[in-house]
Amino acid sequence: MLCRPVYPEGNPREWMVGVQLSFILLGFALPFPVIAVFYALLARAFSRSSSSSSSSPVEQERRVSRRVILAYIVVFLGCWGPYHGVLLVDALSQMGLVPLTCGMENVIYVALHLTQCLSLLHCCFNPILYNFINRNYRYDLMKAFIFKYSTRTGLARLIEASNMSETEYSAVAVDNPPQI
């Protein structure tokens, strides 16, 4: 048994194309410009409020924020663009505007599935962008794994067994990360 969407009998192809075009419009053509424009405005606001010293910590944070904003726009475009591009080609072929051979239809069928997987990876990339790019978060994550769960790896026993003085150990387990 094969399950497929059921469209009205009179014009199922037109309904399918309409659904695909609404996916493109609501899933990409409208959200991408909104995301790009508002993030570009946010990045410009960071640029305008820049301090005179380009090496100040505040300016470095703003520079990192601008890079994260640009990365977010690129990731959205890179993840969702291919899927909606293939969906558009499929819709155009369904309308008869792009003639396709049987082999090309098979390529589009496979490409739809592969690019849909890529588009869903966008959900995985967002936490990476927002969290792992942040230097303090990376340090806290590393500290959590090394010092909180070190009894599993034997690191705690190694530290206890070593001849480190209390001041040497406290230098290893600092609460504030070094600024690199």
The pLDDT tens digits for 12-27 are 888 889 999 999 999 9
Residues written for the chain:
180
Strands (E), 15-165: none
C-alpha distances in Å from residue 59, one per residue of 49, 54, 62, 68: 9, 6, 5, 14
98's tokens: 């792009």
**CB–CB of 79/119 below 8 Å?**
yes
160's tokens: 């206890």
Question: Which string of b and e fits 22-43 if b means at least 16 CB within 10 Å?
Answer: ebbeeebeeebeeeeeebeeeb
Give the long-range contacts of residues 46-51, CB within 8 A, separation 24 or more.
none
What's the pLDDT at 176?
A: 53
What's the pLDDT at 170?
A: 46
C-alpha distances in Å from residue 82, one per residue of 30, 53, 96: 16, 41, 21
CA atoms of 157 and 90, how far apart (whole Å): 60
What's the pLDDT at 91?
A: 92
What's the pLDDT at 28?
A: 93
The full set of domains in the chain, from first to last, is 12-133 (1.20.1070.10), 135-180 (no CATH)
pLDDT digits (tens, 9 = 90+) for 126-139: 888 877 666 666 67
What's the pLDDT at 169?
A: 45
Give the predicted TM-score (pTM) of the model.
0.65
Residue of 63, 61, 64 lying closest to 47 (CA atoms): 63
What's the pLDDT at 178?
A: 52
Q: Point out the residues of the chain with pLDDT beneath 70.
A: 1-2, 49-54, 132-138, 140-142, 144-145, 147-180
